[in-house]
Amino acid sequence: MNRRSALAQAAACSLLALCASAWLAPSASAQSANPSKLRVALLPDENASTLIQNAQPLKAYLERTLKKEIELIVTTDYSSMIEAMRFGRIEIGYFGPFSYVLAKSKAPQIEAFAVGVERGAPTYTSVLIATAGGPVKTLADVRGKPFGFGDQASTSSHLAPRAHLLKMAKLDGEKDYRPVHVGTHDAVARAVQTGQLPAGALSKPIYDTLVERKTIDPSKIVELAQSAPIPNYPIVMQGKLSPALKAQIRSAFIDMKDAEVLKAFRVEGFMATDDKAYDVLRETAQVLNIELESMQ
């Protein structure tokens, strides 16, 4: 099966799973321009219970700031989050950069409006790692071996490191190594730490957080490389919301000073952004011969 077919099949399977979820019952047409409750989706790049727990300060902040009930949602995977945004089952989403690009290709009405700032810039990197003492000591050693990625729609745990392997080591995932998708960033790190996979890639900020939490022992992992800067995770909202509510939501994020909330996002703050900031990822997808239409 080629990459395009695999991506399309994965997206289709995720959509079927999403449609079976009880919280998807309301139709897109029923979405209000000024709902009393806002459903906020968190990118499923780590364990769902951990994400929900860490986002409680965000829930409290938004309820206090917007004077509305907030429901936090973690979907089963990236594709199901994209479909939820597409069909109006969430009002606000914290997307990965490439998963936002995919969502925008399916739902042109959605709006990226804020982006996290780290070390003074709205960018981050992917880190490519290997098992300490294992068979992979350089990028060239990836040839002929399995390589761990997260979700297929992940930027820093798939798109960016896949492009880095192609550009820097001339390694094509179609023929030079075996891509293994394990779902989440933390799953990649654990698989590499234990030697289940000799190498893999994930978000550098997430990797640093896993080390800080002592979820990962850095002595059991070596860093092979970091990708070029990636536009950071965008906050996205439904375009059909009322102008007044959209202005309130935009201000809630861009003016956010709550240190506990910002820590959960692993950022120093938020700044305004727009769709054009993510054109670089559309270009990267073209380099990798990944057509957005193949995932619809």
Q: Give 228-256 pLDDT, tens digit per residue.
A: 999 999 999 999 999 999 999 999 999 99
Alpha helices by DSSP H, listed for the chain, are 3-19, 48-54, 56-66, 78-86, 97-106, 160-169, 185-193, 204-212, 243-254, 259-265, 279-287
Contacts of 249 (CB under 8 A, 6+ apart): 38, 66, 92, 113, 237, 241
Domain residue ranges of the chain, discontinuous segments joined by +: 3-120+232-295, 126-228
Reported as a pLDDT band with limits 50, 70 and 90, residue 15 is: very low
In the prediction, which pLDDT does 83 show? 95
Fold of 126-228: D-Maltodextrin-Binding Protein; domain 2 (3.40.190)
Closest CA to 45 of 199, 125, 124, 149: 149
| Nearest partner of 162 among 283, 77, 288, judged by Cα | 288
Residue 36, exposed/middle/buried by CB under 10 A (0-12, 13-18, 19+)? exposed
* Amino acid letter, 82: I
Please check the confidence at residue 124 and state whether its pLDDT lies above 50.
yes
pLDDT, tens digit, for every residue of 164-193? 999 999 999 989 999 999 999 999 999 999
pLDDT averaged over every residue in the chain: 89
Structure tokens at 192: 């590499």
Question: Do the two domains 3-120+232-295 and 126-228 of this chain adopt the same fold?
Answer: yes
pLDDT at 144 over 70: yes
Model confidence at 12, pLDDT cuts 50, 70, 90, reads very low
286 Cβ contact partners less than 8 Å away, ≥ 6 residues apart: none
| Residue-level pLDDT at 245 | 98
pLDDT per residue as tens digits for the range 18-61: 333 434 444 444 468 999 999 999 999 888 999 999 999 999 99
Phi, psi dihedrals of residue 266, rounded to the nearest 5°: 60, 40
Pick the CATH number of 3-120+232-295 from 3.40.640.10, 3.40.190.10, 3.40.50.920, 3.40.50.720: 3.40.190.10
Q: Which residues contact 245 (CB under 8 A, 6 or more apart)?
A: 33, 34
Q: Read off the DSSP letter of residue 294.
A: G
